Amino acid sequence: MPFWDWRGLALYEQHLNYLKEHDPDIFGYLEEEKKRQMDGIELIPSENLVSQGVLEALGSVATNKYSEGYPGKRYYGGNEVIDKIENTAIERAKKLFGAEHVNVQPNSGSPANMAVYWALLSPGDTALGMKLTEGGHLTHGHPVNFSGKLYNFLQYGVDKENEMLNYETIAQLADKEKPKLLLCGFTAYPRKIDFKKFRKIADETGAVCMADISHIGGLCATGVHENPSPYFDVVTTTTHKTLRGPRSAIIMCKKNFAEKIDKAVFPGLQGGPHEHVIAAKAVAFKEAATPEFKNYAAQIVKNAKKLAQVLMDNGLRLVSGGTDTHLMLVDVTAFGISGKGAETALEECHIYCNKNTIPFDTKSPWDPSGIRIGTPVLTTRGMKEKDMQEVGDFISDCLHNANDKEKLKQIRGRVNKFCLQFPFYK
């Protein structure tokens, strides 16, 4: 059995046996959600399906323990074993990413980024990050977010011509504004990031060089995408996207930033770490260090490239004309619908994606011009390039018939049948 497979129905049911008998409401909802995940095509690029090992650690007794502090220096007794778990997670993450120092306690991506800013910036300091509407994240300086409110976060975007990063423009902006922190790494950018160029810009302007590799964490860990961790000052990543771990995050940094970062996470921003999640992160890091995971990460990108080609062959416009990673942005305006309309029509067919702005979008983020899709979940289910033809055809058929309820129902039937070929949580 490959390590990423679920062990089968018997074990899953055993896992939920107590709930089945004593809390049929929650048991029923969990079964319904499992069925939804298995019957549909999941294209949200920030989601994945975790392994049995990760799920077991999440449901373990480590959830019972308070362990404020760090290994060897806790504010509660009884942490001898918890220290072993947290140290294992730290050592595995350091090895996996080639990082000098790792903090495995952040509860998720936003708190991880918050801790970095809290450690390295003072309120009002200037930082430079990517606009949300062109591929950045809320925590990269958006005005409604703490990052944009607390700090003077200036924003760069993509080039109008090719919808890709223009490193010269970013260098000019950095040279003019002299940010204390230069941030790269994005949630809706389909192209490779030239981390070395960002490092050079940071060096030339004296900025701390930070990457948020949440989306491509699994690709960076395996060398499928360049990994900035060994030479960037700070790198954050969530652990539940292409890394296929639990819903959480880590911060990696150079030794000289370690003390400040650790203090910012605890006691600066968080209390007791979630040690069951830290155990699950350790499990995921072990899985990600295997040759099978490297093949898996490479397959995610192969599948994405093939899916992009099928969609473009079917006449759809992709932002920047394709993808180098696990995700792509589809401009749906040619169908006479918005991203919200596309998301809803696809959902009718049990195909899940999220509406997303496209660069230079004239519509609002609540009802933008595009959708964002990706291949991590499909690849986890065992799909290969040949299967992307069918997935791409489902998407195109659905968007062409977005207002035809009967057609959407027919497509849904075909989608459900297609998914039966790729059981995961059987």
What six digits make up the tokens of 86? 């947290």
Cβ of residue 109: shortest distance to ligand DSN, in angstroms?
A: 5
Instruction: Identify the active-site residue in 88, 222, 238, 325.
Output: 238
Cβ of residue 314: shortest distance to ligand DSN, in angstroms?
A: 25
Question: Considering only residues 46, 133, 222, 338, which one is a binding residue for ligand DSN as defined by CB under 6 A?
Answer: 46
CA angle 327–329–334, rounded 5-degree value? 150
**Does the footprint of ligand DSN cover residue 129 (CB under 6 A)?**
no
Instruction: Identify the active-site residue in 74, 244, 247, 372.
Output: 247
Asked if 191 is an active-site residue, the reply is: no
Instruction: Identify the active-site residue in 65, 131, 241, 381.
Output: 241
Q: Which is nearer to ligand DSN, 107 or 389 (CB)?
A: 107
**Does the footprint of ligand DSN cover residue 187 (CB under 6 A)?**
yes
Q: Are 167 and 194 in contact (CB under 8 A)?
A: yes
What six digits make up the tokens of 244? 């296929």
Cβ of residue 65: shortest distance to ligand DSN, in angstroms?
A: 28
**Does the footprint of ligand DSN cover residue 109 (CB under 6 A)?**
yes
Asked if 178 is an active-site residue, the reply is: no
CA angle 21–32–374, rounded 5-degree value? 140
Asked if 348 is an active-site residue, the reply is: no
Asked if 247 is an active-site residue, the reply is: yes
**Does the footprint of ligand DSN cover residue 305 (CB under 6 A)?**
no
Asked if 405 is an active-site residue, the reply is: no
**Does the footprint of ligand DSN cover residue 190 (CB under 6 A)?**
no
Q: Are 111 and 96 in contact (CB under 8 A)?
A: no
Q: Are 104 and 116 in contact (CB under 8 A)?
A: no
Q: Which is nearer to ligand DSN, 45 or 69 (CB)?
A: 45
Instruction: Identify the active-site residue in 212, 233, 262, 331.
Output: 212
DSSP annotation of 365 reads T
Residue of 311, 332, 354, 348 lying closest to 399 (CA atoms): 332
Residue of 115, 61, 62 lying closest to 89 (CA atoms): 62
Asked if 238 is an active-site residue, the reply is: yes
Buried b (16+ CB within 10 A) or exposed e, 190-211: bbebebeebbebbeebebbbbb
| Residues of this chain that bind ligand DSN (CB under 6 A) | 46, 109, 137, 187
Q: Which residues belong to the active site?
A: 66, 68, 212, 238, 241, 247
